[in-house]
Amino acid sequence: MEKGTFQDVNAQVVQRCREGDNRAQYELYKLYSKAMFNVSMRITNDYAESEDVLQEAFISAFKNLHSYKAEASFGSWLKRIVINASVNAVRKRRSELVPLEDRMAGDIADEDYDDDTEWQVEQVRRAIQRLPDGYRVVLSLYLLEGLDHAEIGEVLGISESTSKSQYSRARKKLLEIMKDTHSMA
Amino acid sequence: MKDRLKDFVSENREDFDMFEPRPELWQEICTELKTQQAQKEKPRKEAKVISINFGDRLNFAADFMFMRVAATIVLLLACGITLWTVKKNNPAVTNTLAATTETGEQASVYQMAPELAEVEVYYTSQINSKREELSEYDLKVLGLDETREIDSELARLDSSYTRLKDQLQTTPNTDQVMAAMIRNLQIRIEVLNRQLEVLKKIEAIKEQDTTEPQNNETTTI
């Protein structure tokens, strides 16, 4: 029910956008630009690139608003555009997004050596930023953007199981980084 | 599998969004959107101008169609006028005497005997210059009927020339017809030359008489 009314609120603005209403467009931009910018930041890890992605995504969203059928919320539709644009931006920069699989042959089994440490948002965020591209993208998509492994596989063009294993490696690497920085501090 | 990290992130999800795009970015998006919209509406706007000129009854699609049709017509007209002027200018040199046939026929005739065009240009230029010389005399020597005779003679030659030209298309023996045609042109020049000579003589005689006719007049009175 609540979702329905939420969609309705957006639907009005979206409709005005379809008619080329600049103020409605700004309303949607104000509502989503920050979240979308952070989505892009986590994937590209580059401020200028994220701005480009954001610009490109909003323009393409407004241009292709007719293809948005209120099946999902406007936010998740836009988020998908941003994610795709960001992934493309990283792809342009680096040839492969998921290249680290074989290098990590000697994986250590999951251990909860982190259980006792207290995490800070800032600490986690910085650690994510320090992850290599392939890890960072999968981890961000899974942890922060709420995509499941099937969806991640679809976005990155990899299998669901690859996404899963990539995530667990990324997670491990992240905990390592956090541990290192913690002990250094 | 229990994922403490995932729990932590979802608990603090809001705090992870700490970046903000530059506030100017919206302006950039706006201008980009506007230019894209302008590009999309460009053909519409052009059509609109037309619809103002030709009344509002025509809708955009029809106007666009109208623009296309109009452009086609203009193009065809331009081509037609160019062709017409070119055709008009080219025969203008030759048409005065020899090339009196229809332009449509000419093309095929010249295809059969390409050297004919050159020959025609050469002789007609000669004939024209002679005619010019003659006309100068004509102004001076008005009282001569002979010039009319020559005109009719030249007209006769001209018509026989056209007949020969027609024959050139039908007879297989083009060389003979060509020779006849060239002869025809040469005859014209001869005729004109003779006339010129006659006129020169008359002029000479007249010059000699310039002193005497005055005397004659006085004597007759």
Q: By the CB < 8 Å criterion, does A119 face chain B?
A: yes
Same domain for A6 and A87 = yes
Among A66, A93, A120, the domain-final residue is: A93
**More confident call, B29 vs A113:** B29
Q: Least CA distance to A60: which residue of chain B?
A: B33
At residue A131, what are phi and psi to the nearest 5 degrees? -70, 150
Q: Are residues A7 and A80 in the same domain?
A: yes
Domain count, chain A: 2
What is residue B1's predicted lDDT score, i.e. its pLDDT?
A: 55
Are residues A36 and A61 located together in one domain of the fold? Answer: yes
Alpha-carbon gap, residue A168 to A135, rounded angstroms: 9
Q: Looking at the domain assignment, is residue A22 inside a domain?
A: yes
Question: What are B153-170's pLDDT values in tens digits?
Answer: 888 888 888 888 888 777
Tell me, what's the ipTM? 0.77
Nearest by CB: B21 against A22, A33, A125: A33
Pull the structure tokens for residue B189.
Answer: 């020049």
Give me the pLDDT at residue B175, please. Answer: 82
Shortest distance, CA A56 to any CA of chain B (angstroms): 8
Please give the mean pLDDT across all residues of chain B.
75
Q: Are A19 and A75 members of one domain?
A: yes
In this predicted model, which residue has the larger pLDDT, A99 or A69? Answer: A69
| Domain range list for chain B | 25-94, 97-207
Q: Supply B73's token pair.
A: 């017509």
Residue A53 lies in a domain: yes
Q: Which domain holds residue A75?
A: 2-93
B-chain residues near A42 (CB < 8 A): 16
Of A141, A10, A154, A157, residue with least CA distance to A71: A10
> Under an 8 A CB cutoff, do B9 and A62 touch?
no
**Three-class SS string for chain B?**
CCCHHHHHHHHCHHHHCCCCCCCCHHHHHHHHHHHHHHHHHHHHHHHHHHHHHCCCCCCHHHHHHHHHHHHHHHHHHHHHHHHHHHHHHHHHHHCCCCCCCCHHHHHHHHHHCHHHHHHHHHHHHHHHHHHHHHHHHHHHCCCCCHHHHHHHHHHHHHHHHHHHHHHHHHCCCHHHHHHHHHHHHHHHHHHHHHHHHHHHHHHHHHHHHCHHHHHHHHHHC
Contact B3 A33 (CB under 8 A): no
Instruction: Mark whether A80 and A54 lie in a shared domain.
Output: yes
In chain B, residues with a C-beta closer than 8 Å to the C-beta of A41 are: 19
At A83, is the pLDDT very low, low, confident or very high (cuts 50, 70, 90)? very high
Note the pLDDT tens digit of each residue in B92-138: 444 445 444 445 555 666 776 777 788 888 888 888 888 888 777 76
**Which letter does DSSP use for residue A104 in this model?**
G
Chain B residues in contact with A55 (beta carbon < 8 A): 25, 28-29, 32
Sign of CA dihedral A174, A178, A183, A185: positive
Interface test with B, best of A55, A139, A175 (most B CBs within 10 A): A55
Comparing B198 with A161, the larger pLDDT belongs to A161
Whether residue A4 is predicted with pLDDT greater than 50 in this model: the reply is no
**Which residues in chain A have their CB less than 8 angstroms from residue B20's CB?**
34, 37
- Is residue A41 domain-resident? yes
How far B4 CA lies from chain A's nearest CA (Å)?
8
A86 and A125 in a single domain? The answer is: no
Contact A59 B36 (CB under 8 A): yes
The CATH number of the domain holding residue A41 is 1.10.1740.10
**Number of Cβ pairs < 8 A linking chain A and chain B:** 70
Shortest CA distance to B203 belongs to which of B150, B153, B126, B142? B142
pLDDT digits 0-9 by tens, B31-40: 888 888 788 7
For residues B124 and B96, the answer to whether their CB atoms sit within 8 Å is yes
- Closest to B169 measured CA to CA, from B178, B182, B159: B178
Name the residue among A34, A54, A63 with its Cβ closest to that of B17. A34
Q: Is the pLDDT of residue A55 over 90?
A: yes
Q: In this model, does residue A106 exceed pLDDT 90?
A: no
pLDDT value of position B107? 62
Q: Quick one: closest CA in A to B33, which residue?
A: A59
- CA A15 vs. chain centroid, Å, equals 27
pTM above 0.90, yes or no: no
C-alpha distance from residue B93 to each of B88, B112, B181 (Å): 9, 21, 18
Contact A55 B28 (CB under 8 A): yes
| Residues of B contacting chain A (CB within 8 angstroms) | 1, 3-6, 8-9, 12-13, 15-22, 25-26, 28-30, 32-33, 36-37
